[in-house]
Chains A and B, each alone.
Chain A
Amino acid sequence: RKEVEQDPGPFNVPEGATVAFNCTYSNSASQSFFWYRQDCRKEPKLLMSVYSSGNEDGRFTAQLNRASQYISLLIRDSKLSDSATYLCVVNSGGYQKVTFGTGTKLQVIP
């Protein structure tokens, strides 16, 4: 089993739709979780950290399920500008090492 797994997609959704991505991780000792977005040929940019209690930032909601070892990202009212690859990131060895999932590609269609 891979350390961090994501459905590669692509998810093609119409503008205004709600879309959700999941990411599963294998290391039960992992403590820190993040979502990044990466546009084509650009660097990853931090979208949000994922806290145990869940967190929300505008149209984006992230949740953590420790029992089932997955994190989720919900995007409401999708915009064309949300089209990107969404990378799940999990700490994987001490404090300094994180592992990236393979990413989920989102395409928002007019």
Chain B
Amino acid sequence: DTEVTQTPKHLVMGMTNKKSLKCEQHMGHRAMYWYKQKAKKPPELMFVYSYEKLSINESVPSRFSPECPNSSLLNLHLHALQPEDSALYLCASSQGPSEVYEQFFGPGTRLTVL
């Protein structure tokens, strides 16, 4: 099973809402990532979890709050977002943090903030 799954596929939320994005992988990977991708731009790294601990935060605003409940799951909690946060949010996983392994991406959540 080489699949990373993400839910929901699409999300529309108001600026006062609280919502969560979910990501799951069953490949035994020990590193998981959140990326943000705007149209016609490459993915931008937001967070990295290694062995369920946050290892990289790319100075992401606190209205984005990541959580790694276990080695297979990664959540991104959203609160008080701005319209400019509308984007495709991609989750990825890789074998581990001890070498640069290939990352495998989920299909993404397309987020619209009204």
Contacts and interface: CB of A to CB of B under 8 A. Distances in A.
Contacts of A87: 42
B28 to A, nearest CB: 17
Contacts of B83: none
Interface stretch (A58-66, A69-77, A96-104): A96-104
Contact of A91 (B50, B98, B100, B105): B100
A73 B100 CA distance: 20
Interface of A: 31-32, 34, 41-46, 49, 87, 91, 95-98, 100-103
B56 A97 contact: yes
Given A95-B97, A96-B50, A102-B41, A46 B102 contact: yes
A97 B105 contact: no
| Chain A interface helix/strand/loop/mixed | loop
Given A95-B97, A98-B45, A100-B42, 10 more contacts: A41-B88, A41-B110, A44-B43, A45-B105, A46-B103, A95-B98, A96-B31, A96-B48, A96-B50, A98-B100
